[in-house]
Amino acid sequence: MKFLDEFQNKEIARGLLERIRELCDGKVTLMEVCGTHTMALFKFGIRSLLPSQLNVVAGPGCPVCVTPQSAIDKAIRLSDKATIVTYGDMYKVPGSYSSLEKEKAKGKDIRIVYSPLDALAIAERSPDKEVVFLGIGFETTAPASASTIISTRENGIKNFSLLCVHRLIPPAMKALSNGELNIDGYLCPGHVSTIIGEKPYSAIAQRFNIPCVIAGFEALDILEGIYLLLKQINEGKSYVENGYRRVVRPEGNKLALEVMEKVFEIADSEWRGLGWIEKSGLVLKGEFNDFDAEKKFDIKIAKPRPRPGCICGEILKGLKIPSECKNFGSKCTPDEPLGPCMVSSEGTCAAYYKYARESLKK
Amino acid sequence: MCLAIPVEIIELKDNGMAVAEAGGIRRKVSVQLLEDVKKGDYVLLHAGFAIQKIDEKQAKETLRLLREVASI
């Protein structure tokens, strides 16, 4: 069983869409908080098949998009004295004045990897160079950084450090839940949930009476998620439901959570476009100062300069859609982005540009 | 970024690493975030780490439920 094709079955999809249409008898706003969901909703054509009263809004689910500008500015500043290693998604994202891609073109040593372990391997191969890994991502990715830092310490590697900008999804959901947008249900991120389990969403479901359904990323997973949310809304219920049981255990991944707990502590953190959110980010614990790029290096940057004309903040909160931005597709394109949402592979604006640009022109 | 793919564990190595395969391509992956990973297990691979085992029984059960909801 390949666990992929079976979840693209057209017959089942058609049936689920029927159920969704039956359940949708008024205006409903659902929010997804995962860039992969944003893209999948377009990619599988689900958006165009949903009833018009059902609005699925993209929230701050693109980790690249919410990484503060200052992180990119710091990484660029560090590239003067260290090899900067990053996930590919960050490469083209504009900082205040430049991007990692542009700095690389100037000759700085900036490399793209698939895994933080690859970044550590670069450090091992060049012991005379400092190597800094830009640790972005939500709870799906934070354990990988944590495990890599533990390996760094265990193997006595001295020239590797982490510029940590990991963020946590439930606090952002909490911040949005009593905000300007009336959210009737949350489609919860399947792979973040693989790590954190079901419990972190309970507080949101109970406190704000918003149903939370954990969903995977294949077509049937997303349709199931939407169906289960509509069912709860119709029944006036709001609890956490797991639609992705094949990889999400109620308790999450205990070992991954332990590894994170060993290395990180939770702090109030800045989200690009959303501002400061309480207890929403991870920082390295004091005992790991030697591997914390913020502590190891003296990084002084100018005050981050927001990009004029970029409305990423409102897009990330689900208050506007890309077509409502006057620069969408004109001054802001994937090649010349004004902000992260257009250039990130999971950015909302990038998704609309890729899949919905033509229909928006009409 | 949440891109994680199902892969099969082909071989366990030491140092918490394993060899995994998907679509004919083999890759070294870390299994340090999971306990009791065995050869033949299907796991979800993300950023070079196996982050969870895929439960085939649950996968089949989900599909069965979905068929029921879809009235097929």
pLDDT of residue A2: 64
* Separation between Cα atoms, residue A316 and residue A318, nearest integer Å: 5
Helix (H, G, I), strand (E, B) or coil at A316: helix
Apex A17 CA angle, A13 and A19, nearest 5: 120
Q: What is the pLDDT of residue B1?
A: 52
ipTM of the complex model: 0.95
What is the per-residue pLDDT for A3?
72
* Beta bridge pairs of residue A167: A281
Task: Specify the pairing of strand A131-135 against strand A160-164.
Answer: parallel
Contact (CB<8Å) A147/B33: yes
Max CA separation in chain B (angstroms): 49
Q: Which amino acid is at A172?
A: A
Q: What is the pTM of this model?
A: 0.95
**Is residue B21 less than 8 Å (CB to CB) from chain A?**
no
**The pair of three-digit structure tokens given for residue A11, joined into one six-digit string:** 């017959």
pLDDT tens for the 362 residues of chain A, in order: 567 888 999 999 999 999 999 999 899 999 999 999 999 999 999 999 999 999 999 999 999 999 999 999 999 999 999 999 999 989 999 999 999 999 999 999 999 999 999 999 999 999 999 999 999 999 999 999 999 999 999 999 999 999 999 999 999 999 999 889 999 999 999 999 999 999 999 999 999 999 999 999 999 999 999 999 999 999 999 999 999 999 999 999 999 999 999 999 999 999 998 999 999 999 999 999 999 999 999 888 988 888 888 999 999 999 999 999 999 999 999 988 999 999 888 899 999 999 987 766 54
Chain A residue with minimal CA distance to B60?
Answer: A246
Nearest Cα residue to A299 out of A163, A99, A101, A100: A163
- Binary contact (B61, A3; C-beta < 8 A): no
Give the helix ranges, DSSP H, for chain A.
10-23, 35-43, 46-49, 63-66, 69-78, 100-105, 116-125, 142-154, 169-177, 190-196, 199-208, 219-234, 254-263, 293-296, 312-316, 340-343, 348-355, 357-361
Q: Residue A188: list chain B partners with CB under 8 A.
A: none
Q: Which residues of B touch A63 (CB under 8 A)?
A: 1
Q: Which residue from B3, B36, B53 is spatially nearest to A141, judged by alpha carbons?
A: B3
- Position A362 scores a pLDDT of 45
pLDDT of residue A54: 97
Mean pLDDT (chain B) is: 93
Residue closest to A350 by CA, chosen among A318, A317, A312: A312
Name the amino acid, one letter, at A47.
R
User: Contacts of residue A136 in chain B, CB cutoff 8 Å?
Assistant: 1
**Contact of A166 with A138, CB cutoff 8 Å:** yes
Mutate to test the interface with A, among B54, B66, B72 (most CBs of A within 10 A): B66
The pLDDT score that the predictor gives to residue A359 is: 64
Q: Are A246 and B35 an interchain contact pair (Cβ–Cβ within 8 Å)? A: no
